Chain A
Amino acid sequence: MATRIFGSSIKRREDPKLITGEAQYLEDIQLHGMVHAAVLRSPYAHANIRSINVEEAKAVDGVIGVFTGKDFEELPALPCAWQAGGVDNNANTPRVLEIERVTFTGAAVAVVVAENRYIAQDAVGLIEVDYEPLPVVVDAEEASQKGAPQLHENAPGNICMDWACGQEEGTEAALEEADVVVKQRIKNQRLIPTPLEPRGAIAQYSPASEEYTVWMTSQAPHVMRLLMTAFVFGIPETKMRVISPHVGGGFGSKIFLYPEYCLVAALAKKVGRPIKWMETRGENYVATTHGRDHISDIEVGVKRDGTVTALKVKTYANLGGILSTIAPGIPTTLYGRMLSGVYKIPNIYCQVLGVYTNTAMVDAYRGAGRPEATYLVERVMDLVANELKMDPSELRRKNFIPADAFPYEPADDILAGLKYDSGNYEAVLDRALEVTDYKAFRQEQEKARESGRYLGVGFSSYIEVCGVAPSAWVGVGGQGWGAGLWESANVRVHLTGQVVVTTGTQPHGQGHETTVAQVVADELGIPFEDVIVQHSDTLGTPFGYGTYGSRSAAVGAVAVYNSLQRIKDKAKLIGAHMLEASIDDVIYEDGKVHVKGAPTESKTIQEIAGQAALAYDLPEGMEAFLDDTAYYDPPNCTFPFGTHMCMVEVDRHTGQVDIQRYVAVDDVGRVINPMIVDGQVHGGIAQGVAQALWEHGVYDESGQLVSGSLLDYAIPKASFLPSFELDRTETPSPVNPLGVKGAGEAGTIASTPAVVNAVMDALSPLGITHIDMPLTAERVWQAVQQNGNGG
């Protein structure tokens, strides 16, 4: 192909609307006659609801109705679509409004519908609920102990599921035989995703057609429609249309089906007017899903020369008071199965207890399971290096899966039959060492120590799994997901040669309209401007599972690619017919079908599209139009990797951590648009660094969310962060014809351990080997006082 735009940093075509204020987010949508809903939430973390008095609220001028759970008794609890594979999941899920009991602060118990939001909010304050408070437990380990308050009858000991992967016996035996065994308890604290736009929904109901239209802040509109119609409302999916308008970030928290989305749809029918509900930031903190929250005990066995021989992990995964849509799948398939990291670890065993506690629902947050796995593995590497007095980069190198071992199957069937697709882990490490001038840094560090300054460098050599889609693997029989996870695309070449692509994925900042158009323009050999990409509306797009898990390129764009191949095949048939040539004698090249060896004997794709659409002279029996829909079900996942390095200075007197340099060398397979990929990496790094240093979702013992506002939950400001230095290698994925792997989560997955390892490296002269995150000044200072004698 002549000039390709695959691989070029084309400016995003989504931006003009976003930089001028024209883009419509959910809250910007106004419908004629629209009313507003406000939700009353439980102030208790665990309580029985004795009674609810709505009379005073109803009497407020402008209030249209006040409703409680009893008004929606006919609607079942929401579905849990991804249960942990191969084990019992004692699932308990939210109702549209809770009726008898609440299990976390912020659970929805009543709703006011009013003429405007101010009135609705006023009236919410007038609803009286008589609660019977119950004992509370917020810590997953405590909740699993004898005598802990019990949340659900069907989940004795508060255990949702007890899941394991790997080989217990072999791992135990290898630990026995190891020269050195390092043990550590490692916590991965609760995080709160905090997209800048909170959640919201608008619904409208047509009594004449019995159809709902629901706009929602969703990363997966088709899945929302499926879950709402089939599992909650019990209506055909053709009776509901779901639209995601512009979505202001999601990071996983907008994948799920939430009670309020169903509530708003049900209310639209009850009230007979279009209705809008928009979450406040305060509600977003208490009632939108949280992420992470693991407590893990690890044991790692090594030989004296640094060869890791065994890794055993036991994890308490906090799932919250009730299950969100895919909660059990995150700390199992996406976590335990990734614990081999980039290393040849011959014996692995991981047990995960999924535990109910009186906290908000925990589900996928950017990286979802993989950051938790990577954090453990990469902390383990540094703990071992420290114990053996080895250089952390050399220890990593010693244990890397070698470049000639791909496809590589991690030991003990930990990945349940899948294989890492491709990789070259030493190459990214070497590149990172070179960019940072590692040797020079070590010398500088030495000198600084002599003058009482504490510099540190941290490594994170990570792998992640993207394109979690192979239906046979992820689906019901394997990893427990309630469906396959293929992705779809439709390509239509219109009469004039303009191409309309519709996708089942849903961008909310990732720039699909640009990158997908790049793929299409290249494949068809047409101008980028001639392609438009439509998405996010169940009307007019093929069913798709949505955007999360860095899957839109590795699965969604490949569906587009497959459609394009069939479009080209048909174009060749028509072109050959127009040229009066045999199909075997023509090729498709640079936007034209031409006779082999005679490039001037050609028909452009535009001419062929016109011929196909007008259809008065097509090959015998051929259908009109260039139109193709593809459903791509990949044979394997993809496995991006990289090495990140972080350099810090720690002030031992204040505990303050200062990031001096952050270098990321990523390999996300082939890159469609480097500018967009870099942006994804920047944002990902910021979120991962934030986990390492600042963010923490904290509940007090009574189950109140202490970090329930932007005042208390420390998402980073610009001044907290440095600029990042990015580099990359490109190892194409053999899994798909585009060679792409996925880039949305790599930054988040890699950066957290890089930062923590850097701080531990800085503090190593003080004998400090581990501090649990976030490494706030206070925590670091405390550790220095306890271990390093402050001085």
Chain B
Amino acid sequence: MSRNVTVTVNQSEHTCEVEPRLLLVHLLRENLGLTGTNIGCDTSQCGSCTVLMDGQAVKSCTVLAVQADEANITTIEGLAQEGELHPLQESFWEKHGLQCGFCTPGMIMTAHDLLSRNPDPTDTEIRHGLDGNLCRCTGYHNIVTAIQAAASSIRS
């Protein structure tokens, strides 16, 4: 029944023996101990589990580990480089874009994908870009501000 899956996560390669039904989010959290990616629902709605898979934001609760075979994954733990926070991490901190922080890793990964496709978004484009990510604490106001701030810092 078990399969071997090889994934590169945050630039390091892992091979794991998994059940075919294992979700990518559980592979990351339980097999690899990367618990920054959160689980907030069971219907693919909340986006707390968003990671980058081959550069694109995916909900890791909706991807089977076996589907991620050979993929390149980035999680929130892999975003800061050599101790330097990513501009999105900086701006979420600076602009108070988080309260409880549970949605934050997913929000940041989605924003990462959004800004890679649209480096200079309008507020409306940001709000629509976050349609797959829920936050219950912030009312999104400061999340939008934070993403704008990150966008302008990345552009310059």
Question: Which residues of A does B touch, CB under 8 Å?
Answer: 11-12, 14-25, 27-28, 30, 118, 194-198, 246-249, 251, 280-282, 508-511, 675-676, 678-680, 682-687, 709-711, 715-719, 721, 723-724, 747
> Do A675 and B96 have beta carbons less than 8 Å apart?
yes
Determine how close the nearest CB of chain A comes to the CB of B86; give it in whole angstroms: 9
- Return chain A residues, CB-CB under 8 Å to B35: 21, 24-25, 27-28
Cα A711 to Cα B37 in complex, Å, equals: 21
Cα A281 to Cα B43 in complex, Å, equals: 8
Cα A251 to Cα B100 in complex, Å, equals: 11
Partner of A685, one of B103, B139, B144: B139
> Do B96 and A715 have beta carbons less than 8 Å apart?
no
> Do B134 and A21 have beta carbons less than 8 Å apart?
no
Determine how close the nearest CB of chain A comes to the CB of B40; give it in whole angstroms: 5
- Return chain A residues, CB-CB under 8 Å to B144: 718, 723
- Return chain A residues, CB-CB under 8 Å to B100: 195-197, 246-249, 508-509
- The verdict on A682 contacting B138 (CB below 8 Å), with A21-B34, A196-B102, A719-B128 known, is yes
- Return chain A residues, CB-CB under 8 Å to B46: 196, 281, 710
> Do A198 and B40 have beta carbons less than 8 Å apart?
yes
Cα A17 to Cα B85 in complex, Å, equals: 11
- The verdict on A710 contacting B139 (CB below 8 Å), with A15-B92, A25-B38 known, is no
- The verdict on A25 contacting B102 (CB below 8 Å), with A12-B96, A282-B42 known, is yes
- Return chain B residues, CB-CB under 8 Å to A710: 41, 43, 45-46, 134
Bitwise interface map of B from 31 to 67 toward A, beta carbon under 8 Å scored 1, else 0? 0011111111111011010000000000000000000
The chain B residue with its CB closest to the CB of A508 is B100
> B131 on the interface (CB 8 Å rule)?
yes
- Return chain A residues, CB-CB under 8 Å to B43: 281-282, 709-711
Q: In the A-B complex, list the 4 residue pairs whose CB atoms are closest, starting with the nearest.
A: A21-B36, A248-B102, A18-B101, A686-B139
Count of A-B residue pairs with CB < 8 Å: 176
Determine how close the nearest CB of chain A comes to the CB of B31; give it in whole angstroms: 11
> Do A20 and B77 have beta carbons less than 8 Å apart?
yes
> Do B101 and A20 have beta carbons less than 8 Å apart?
no
Cα A20 to Cα B141 in complex, Å, equals: 21
The chain B residue with its CB closest to the CB of A726 is B141
13 contacts between A and B (CB under 8 A): A15-B93, A19-B104, A21-B37, A195-B100, A198-B40, A246-B100, A281-B46, A679-B142, A717-B131, A718-B130, A718-B143, A719-B127, A721-B140
> B70 on the interface (CB 8 Å rule)?
no
- Return chain B residues, CB-CB under 8 Å to A684: 139
Bitwise interface map of B from 131 to 156 toward A, beta carbon under 8 Å scored 1, else 0? 10111111111111000000000000
Determine how close the nearest CB of chain A comes to the CB of B114; give it in whole angstroms: 11
Partner of B93, one of A11, A24, A28, A197: A11
- Return chain B residues, CB-CB under 8 Å to A246: 100-101
Partner of B76, one of A20, A24, A25, A196: A20
- Return chain A residues, CB-CB under 8 Å to B127: 717-719, 721
> Do A679 and B99 have beta carbons less than 8 Å apart?
yes
Bitwise interface map of B from 117 to 129 toward A, beta carbon under 8 Å scored 1, else 0? 0000001101110
- The verdict on A718 contacting B126 (CB below 8 Å), with A19-B101, A249-B99, A679-B138 known, is yes
Cα A249 to Cα B38 in complex, Å, equals: 13
Bitwise interface map of B from 8 to 24 toward A, beta carbon under 8 Å scored 1, else 0? 00000000000101100
Determine how close the nearest CB of chain A comes to the CB of B130; give it in whole angstroms: 4
- The verdict on A19 contacting B40 (CB below 8 Å), with A197-B102, A683-B137 known, is no
- The verdict on A717 contacting B138 (CB below 8 Å), with A21-B34, A249-B99, A711-B43 known, is no
Determine how close the nearest CB of chain A comes to the CB of B39; give it in whole angstroms: 7
Partner of A719, one of B21, B39, B79, B130: B130
- Return chain A residues, CB-CB under 8 Å to B21: 118
- Return chain A residues, CB-CB under 8 Å to B42: 280-282, 709
The chain B residue with its CB closest to the CB of A22 is B36
> B115 on the interface (CB 8 Å rule)?
no
Determine how close the nearest CB of chain A comes to the CB of B3; give it in whole angstroms: 15
Cα A25 to Cα B104 in complex, Å, equals: 13
Determine how close the nearest CB of chain B comes to the CB of A550; give it in whole angstroms: 14
Residue among B21, B77, B92, B127 with the highest chain A CB neighbour number at 10 A: B127
Cα A679 to Cα B21 in complex, Å, equals: 40
- Return chain A residues, CB-CB under 8 Å to B96: 11-12, 675-676, 678-679
- Return chain A residues, CB-CB under 8 Å to B139: 682-687, 721, 724, 747
> B7 on the interface (CB 8 Å rule)?
no
Determine how close the nearest CB of chain B comes to the CB of A346; give it in whole angstroms: 37
Cα A118 to Cα B18 in complex, Å, equals: 12
The chain B residue with its CB closest to the CB of A284 is B41
> Do B99 and A715 have beta carbons less than 8 Å apart?
no
New A-B contacts (16) at CB < 8 Å, excluding given A686-B140, A719-B124:
A11-B94, A15-B98, A21-B76, A24-B35, A27-B38, A195-B102, A248-B40, A281-B43, A682-B140, A683-B137, A686-B138, A709-B42, A718-B130, A718-B140, A723-B123, A723-B141
- Return chain B residues, CB-CB under 8 Å to A16: 93
The chain B residue with its CB closest to the CB of A248 is B102
- Return chain A residues, CB-CB under 8 Å to B137: 196, 249, 509, 679, 683
> Do B85 and A281 have beta carbons less than 8 Å apart?
no
Cα A531 to Cα B140 in complex, Å, equals: 30
Cα A19 to Cα B45 in complex, Å, equals: 21
Determine how close the nearest CB of chain B comes to the CB of A153; give it in whole angstroms: 37
- The verdict on A510 contacting B103 (CB below 8 Å), with A249-B137, A721-B140 known, is no
- Return chain B residues, CB-CB under 8 Å to A676: 96
Residue among A195, A675, A723 with the highest chain B CB neighbour number at 10 A: A723
Cα A246 to Cα B35 in complex, Å, equals: 13
> Do A118 and B19 have beta carbons less than 8 Å apart?
yes
- The verdict on A194 contacting B136 (CB below 8 Å), with A683-B99, A711-B43, A718-B143 known, is yes
- The verdict on A717 contacting B130 (CB below 8 Å), with A198-B40, A246-B101, A679-B99 known, is yes
Determine how close the nearest CB of chain B comes to the CB of A331; give it in whole angstroms: 23
Cα A18 to Cα B80 in complex, Å, equals: 13
Determine how close the nearest CB of chain A comes to the CB of B141; give it in whole angstroms: 4
The chain B residue with its CB closest to the CB of A675 is B96
Determine how close the nearest CB of chain B comes to the CB of A666; give it in whole angstroms: 14
- The verdict on A718 contacting B102 (CB below 8 Å), with A28-B35, A724-B139 known, is no
Cα A12 to Cα B137 in complex, Å, equals: 15
> Do A12 and B93 have beta carbons less than 8 Å apart?
yes
Cα A719 to Cα B124 in complex, Å, equals: 7
> Do A719 and B131 have beta carbons less than 8 Å apart?
yes
Determine how close the nearest CB of chain B comes to the CB of A30; give it in whole angstroms: 8
Cα A687 to Cα B127 in complex, Å, equals: 17
- Return chain B residues, CB-CB under 8 Å to A682: 138-142
> Do A281 and B40 have beta carbons less than 8 Å apart?
yes
Determine how close the nearest CB of chain B comes to the CB of A537; give it in whole angstroms: 18
Cα A666 to Cα B116 in complex, Å, equals: 38
- The verdict on A196 contacting B89 (CB below 8 Å), with A249-B102, A509-B99, A710-B43 known, is no
- The verdict on A21 contacting B77 (CB below 8 Å), with A509-B101, A683-B138 known, is yes
Cα A719 to Cα B130 in complex, Å, equals: 8
- Return chain A residues, CB-CB under 8 Å to B41: 281, 709-710
- Return chain A residues, CB-CB under 8 Å to B140: 682, 686, 716, 718, 721
Determine how close the nearest CB of chain A comes to the CB of B113; give it in whole angstroms: 15
Cα A195 to Cα B22 in complex, Å, equals: 25
Determine how close the nearest CB of chain B comes to the CB of A183; give it in whole angstroms: 35
Cα A717 to Cα B38 in complex, Å, equals: 18
- Return chain B residues, CB-CB under 8 Å to A194: 136
